[in-house]
Structure 1
Amino acid sequence: MRPYEAFITDPSLPHSIYEIEGARDCAIEFRSFSKNAGFTGTRCALTVVPKTLKAKALDASEVELWKLWNRRQSTKFNGVSYIVQRGAEAVYSEAGKAQVNALVSFYLENAKIICEQLTGAGFEVYGGVNAPYIWLKTPNNLSSWDFFDKLLQTVHVVGTPGSGFGAAGEGYFRISAFNSRENVQEAMKRITAK
């Protein structure tokens, strides 16, 4: 999934799943304008389905996924609205690139602030580098939802319980850097004061 690709600042990290050997035989890549250009809700994206990609049908026969995807796109999808397409086009203009870069830098700075503040307060913190999300280990063996409730009730801050991402997310909590600087600083002040 590539909506977060713009947040990669480490040159050693791949920007596409297809930079990894063998990926064309096992991966579909999604690209989106939702996070880098603020297009959440307008749904302007693209999907890359390699023609070599195959899957198994219920009868164990191999199916070419590109043919199925092409049929779906050709018969069930009318495309992105013209106004949204024009907005996406503007992202690639010089002004658009500058604005997107500034926005991404702003959110990465928010992530850095969150990481530093939570780490300084003794939380076990992950992420926030090459990504706009920060994960923390919930303290005192609290469940993800118990930590959510504690933050909501005691400091009035909302994040995402890790269990919402599956069983491996239990015991973790995600905080987003997508907010104003003032809100990020206030949230960190409230969380770290407790």
Structure 2
Amino acid sequence: MAEDITSRFFNVISLFNGTIPFIALQMQALRVGDHNTIVFTKVIDVLKRGLEEGPPPPPTDRAYWEHKGSAATVQLADELLKIAKEFDATLQLSYNKHYIGIFQNGQPLNFCRFAPKKNTMNLAIRLERSDEIDSQIEQAGIEKLSHAQDGAYRLSLQKHDVAKHRDYLKALMKAAYDTFIA
């Protein structure tokens, strides 16, 4: 039985996140003239270790993040969650030591992560880097930080950015969500 390697497969593999070595090969049978041949293509060899390696980060609470960042920047996480709830009403915030993540039905679903600072909110959106998205972010005037180890786009947002770019941020989060759950 043949199966395509989908993003769901990558999500399952990411649960192991480098603790178990994985190599995934895609096999393709071809007929060349009178001969049959098989072509193997390496799809996965090395997985990048991201923020979710090892045991889950220690849980914290909203007060921890309001002290580490500010009440105003934690409120930005609430506003971004409200936007995400427009395409999945079951999403909830999960307060961890290193970031505020997203839970769905009690399980992590970190297609995006939030890191409140004193005056800004760093938003990491797990989307494959593309020139098109880079260009759109630049044209929107949103401050883009370096990519995270797991390849996520990292954006630095101020309060006015969330209101001003609401529809675009929603589109980015929805694309990441769709890719993450596919």
In the superposition, the TM-score normalised over structure 2's length comes to 0.32
Which structure shows the bigger proportion of residues in helix conformation?
1
Structure with higher strand content? 2
Q: What is the TM-score with the length of structure 1 in the denominator?
A: 0.31
